[in-house]
Structure 1
C-alpha cells in the first residue's frame, strides 16, 4: 500500500478541514456511512497501544486535495472505532496518532469494490535520543541562479533503522528540543524551509536544527531547504555529511553554461527533468560516511538577463521555478506527517515548542 504522499498533496493537507465525515458528491456507501476499525500497536514493545490516544482518519484525492478528517480515541487495548465514514473510490485514506509527542502514520489505503476499508494498524514507538540508527538514503542538491548569487535547494530523505523514534537528542543544548543538527555553508543567506511548519526548524550561525522526531522505517523523515550563496565567477560549495549517506545527486541547469566539478562523482551527463522538461547536468556520488564531506566546484560567469526577438527574457531570475523543479526532480514522495502533523502536535500539546524566533547562537 502507498505510505507516501507527494509534496503537492502535502501542501493541500495543510488546509485540511475537520468534520464529522467526508463530504462527497457521490459515494458507494450508505448514507449513514461505514465503520472503520483499527488498533494501535507498539512496535517497540510488541504490546497494544494505550487507552485514550486521539486518532484521526484522513482522506485525499489523487490531486492531493484534502477531503476530510474524522476523530476517534483508542480503547483499553489500543483499539479504535470510527463511525459514520463515507468513502469514495479513488480516495486515499490513512490514520494518524500522536504518541509521546510524535506523529505516527498508518499505511495508506483505498476502498475495496464494496466501498469498505480494512482494519487499520497504526504503529507507535517508544523514543530514544540516540541517533546511531539514523542514515540519509538520498540527498539531492539543485543549483540555480537568483537575486544575490547562486540558489541552492537541498532535499534529504532520512531513515531510522532502529525500533524507537529518535527525538530530542540534545545535540546542541540540554533542555532544548533538538533532534538533528545540520551545517550550512559560510555566507548562506535567505535560508528557507518551503511548506514547513515554521516551528519545526531553528537556524543558528553555520547550521540549523530539525526538531522533528524520526520514526523507524525507510524514508520516514524528509527535509527541504533553500538558501542563496554569493557568487563571483567561482565557488566551492562544501557540504558536511552529518550521517552515513547512501547517494548524492547534484543538479544544475544546463542552460546556465557554468562549469561544474564534483570530485569523486560520476558525471551522468545531461538529463531532461521536471514538469517543464528542462535540461540539467547531473552528478552522482556516494555512499559516504558520517563526518566526511563533498565539494561542488562552480566556475564561469553567470548569464545576464537578455531578451529574444519578441522581448521575452531568455535567462532570468528563476529561483522559484528551479526550487519547484527540484521538488519534482527529487522523484520520491514526502511523508505527510513530517510537515503537516507537527503543526497539529504543536497546537494541542502542552510542551513549549520553539519557533523561529528562538534562534540558538553558539558560544
Structure 2
C-alpha cells in the first residue's frame, strides 16, 4: 500500500478461540491498535471485526496477533507502506524476510508454544535448505526487509557483499544515518532494511550467525544424530533433548556429552541414531579414520544431509550438487546471477520447472 492510503481490513475469526490483530509500529487510533480489552473487545470465534485507518508513515512494518500463544504459532505478516516520493537510490529487487523460532518435539509437527528453548529456526517459515533463494541479476540494487518476531536476537550476515542499513521498524532512516556492514543485529520485534549493489556474481549465503541458529540448535531434536555411550540421547523430553540438566553431574556417565558430539576417546563408540521413523536416506557417512576422529574433539560426526532433490525448485537451478549439505537452520541464499543464467531461472520460475542442481558454475570476478 502507499503512504496516505485509507485502508480497511475485515477480520473474520475462524479459529476455535478469540483473537485480535495488532499493527506493529503503525500510528493508528487507539481503538484500532488490537490489544484485547484495552483498545478493543476480543474477536470471538465466528465474529468479524473491521480495522480501518489512514496510513501516514512509510517503511517496513508488520502485523501480528496480540494473543501470546497465537503469535508464537506464527500469526504474523509483513506490512509494507511505499512512500509518496520513491526512495533514492531506487532498488531493483525488494525482498521480505520473517525470522522466527520454534520448539519441535521429535516427529511432532505442532510447535510447543510454551517452551523456553527453541530448536528450529526459520526464514519465512522454512529452515535451510528448504528456504527459497533470492534471485538477483548482477548489477541490480537489492533491498532486504528483515523482521524478527521470535524469542532470540539474530545477527544476520551476508557473504561476499557489503550493505547499508537504511531503515528500522520506525520507517526509513535519513541517509546521513546509514552505516555500512555485512552483519546487522535484528532484535526481537524489530525490523531492519539493508540495501546493497549486487556487483559480484555468486551464490551468497545470508544467515543468522549465532552458531546454534546456523545448525538448528545442533539438530538436537530433529534430523539425523549420533550418540556416544549413555549420554543425553535424542527422542526424549524437550529438556533432555535440549541438553538441559536439572540434577546430577554434567560429566557423569549418564549425563556426559552425547548429542552427536563425542569427546576424545569416546568417538569410536559413536553409532548412527535418528528420531525418524526409519533409516534416513540423507544421512552422509564421514570419511574420517578413527585416529582422525580423535584429533577433532567434539566433531559432529555425520551431522549433515544432502537433500538436493527434495528441495529442488526453479530458484535452485544451477546450484552445485550437494549444495544442501551446507544449508541448515536460519539460512538462505542471495543468488547474484549473470544475465543469461538469470533469464533462465526466471523462465523456469514462470513455467514452474524444478530440477535437481546441474552444477553449472556461476563465476565471481573477485576473490576473498
Q: Normalized against structure 1, the TM-score is what?
A: 0.30
Say which structure is richer in helix: 2
Say which structure is richer in strand: 1
Q: Normalized against structure 2, the TM-score is what?
A: 0.30
